[in-house]
Structure 1
Amino acid sequence: MLKIEQYSMNMEHLLTLPGEQVNHGTAGLESFEIRQNGDLRWIRFPDGTIQSVMLLKEPALPVLTYIQALLCSLLFMPRPSNLLNLGLGSGSIERFILSQYSDIELVSVEIDARIIEISKQYFHIPSSHTVFQLPAEKYLEINQANFDILVSDICTRQGTANSQLSTDFVMHAAHALNTGGVFAVNILPRSESEIIEVLIALRCAFPWILLYDVADMDNIVLFCTVTPSPSPASLMQRAKTLYQSTGLNLSPICRQMIALPAKK
């Protein structure tokens, strides 16, 4: 159970925080700044963008709303047994799952060896946790397993990674899901036309899509299923159960999900 139930983080405020750099002289990580201010630690790129945020006094708590939204994928099945996370970042998904769901088999994939090193050195990911260093699309191409949950958070600083837009990527993702499984995708669209482009690509394999527009951020999280999505009442009930067992309240996000018309 999380000790801190909720924590509100305003990204605009975080961008103004000076923060102390804590990775001075770390070989191979010169292009990344690990910054810290009080109980907050984050990754800052040279162009000023921020990728990840962790609360030091409660590392397992997903601070950013879009990460909480991705964790709503846990609500799509009564008892998910495994989860594939494409795009490690600082390990926000991993910290929560490893802390709160020891019975869920977790597979992590990350293309950048430096990000893997950072997550283990500065962001409380256990050194024993295996992270496959591969492009997400390559992992899906060679993958032989099936998952209840597939999370894709492989946005670049320029927007949604192009690999998420390919037909092969989407089809491989659909084939990697167990019956009733969900594919949760975080995107950073630069225009309405890009949102439409992503939806068209996803519709090739996923007739049912729920959309969550993240408040005060540019992110949109999409929940894609091959079979009909759970009803709003089921999602809310499972959110209540998750809150009782972990202390993370996902009900406000569930209330704001928009069900797109199912593809005939």
Structure 2
Amino acid sequence: MHIVAKEFSSFNEITVYDTNQLYGEMGKFRCLQFTDDAIQGAIDLKNPKRIVLAYHRAVIHLMMLNNPLFEKVFVIGHGIGTIAGHYTDKQFTVAEIDGKVVELSKLYFRYPINNVVVGDGREILRYSEQSSFDYIILDAFTHKGTPLHLTSMEFFEMTLAKLNTRGAIIMNLMGKAKDDRFINAIHTTLRKSYLYIKAFTQQSEDETDIRNIIVIGSNKMFDFQVRDMAGFFEIELGQGHIIRDNGKAKSNVFCGEG
């Protein structure tokens, strides 16, 4: 591993490095990583247009299969801008709380578009037009995981108001596929706002391993093709508590389609 840059911001210690191996694949890769060792983005330096990370490929499949003519997307969490940079012909609004991340994405990862707003994603989304987005993508992390205020019932109700009638929210989370209290709580809370929900993850040697979990919610039925999910497969998440802005957990008795 060769460190290209190391920067400190008010939010993160950020490392940009080059490596000849990524998740068992040989090549020449450049990665952006926070202090928790979680890779926030990666490019193939020999083929920069290639989508390297599997969860990005799975999200793109869900977007294209369920609404191939989508136009407007709101993203919370920039990383290196993989998905927004893939769709230069679409209207993306990207919210990123850490300006240093945006700077590094342009300097070292060739992010080509000036569509990133620096600030809290929830507050930026609040002032967006109602019923205007085809997709809202949540891909935001701190060293503690997904920020709590981006997982509450009040937040999900706001996302629903910002999506059009065919719209969907797609979340990239990190956790265990089974018996994860926070993941189950997010899933259960999301069900209060959205009729149809599915969750996906990748195979792991141990059920207790922390891995990417993709959750999609919509009030319209949606589909997926297993062969195009980049190794992600559908899972059933457990029942959890309701996450509220006031920080008080509420037991849940709601049942609906999943």
With normalisation by structure 1, the TM-score equals 0.75
Q: How many residues are paired up? A: 224
Corresponding letter in the other structure for 2:228: L
Residue correspondence of structure 1 range 1-264 to structure 2 within 5 A:
19-23=1-5, 31-38=13-20, 39-71=28-60, 72-98=62-88, 102=89, 104-126=90-112, 128-145=113-130, 146-189=132-175, 191-216=179-204, 218-230=211-223, 235-236=224-225, 250=228, 256-258=233-235, 262-263=256-257
Give the deviation of 1:132 after TM superposition.
0.7
With normalisation by structure 2, the TM-score equals 0.76
Corresponding letter in the other structure for 2:78: L
Q: Please list the CA deviations of residues 35-77 of structure 1 after superposition, one character each: whole Å capped at 9, or x if unmatched.
A: 0124200123345443221111222222111122222223211
Q: Is the 8 A contact 1:61 1:96 kept in 2?
A: no
Mapped to 2, the partners of 1:58 and 1:89 lie a distance apart of 19
Pairwise CA RMSD of aligned residues? 2.7
Equivalence for 2:242: none
Give the deviation of 1:32 after TM superposition.
2.0
Q: Is the 8 A contact 1:152 1:183 kept in 2?
A: yes
**Segments of 4+ moved more than 6 angstroms:** 26-30
Q: Is the 8 A contact 2:139 2:171 kept in 1?
A: yes
Mapped to 1, the partners of 2:175 and 2:69 lie a distance apart of 32
Larger fraction in strand: 2
Q: Is the 8 A contact 2:57 2:230 kept in 1?
A: no
Local SS of the residue matching 1:32:
strand
Corresponding letter in the other structure for 1:93: I
Q: Is the 8 A contact 1:149 1:182 kept in 2?
A: yes
* Higher normalized contact order (CA 8 Å, seq sep 6+, divided by chain length): 1
Local SS of the residue matching 2:175:
coil
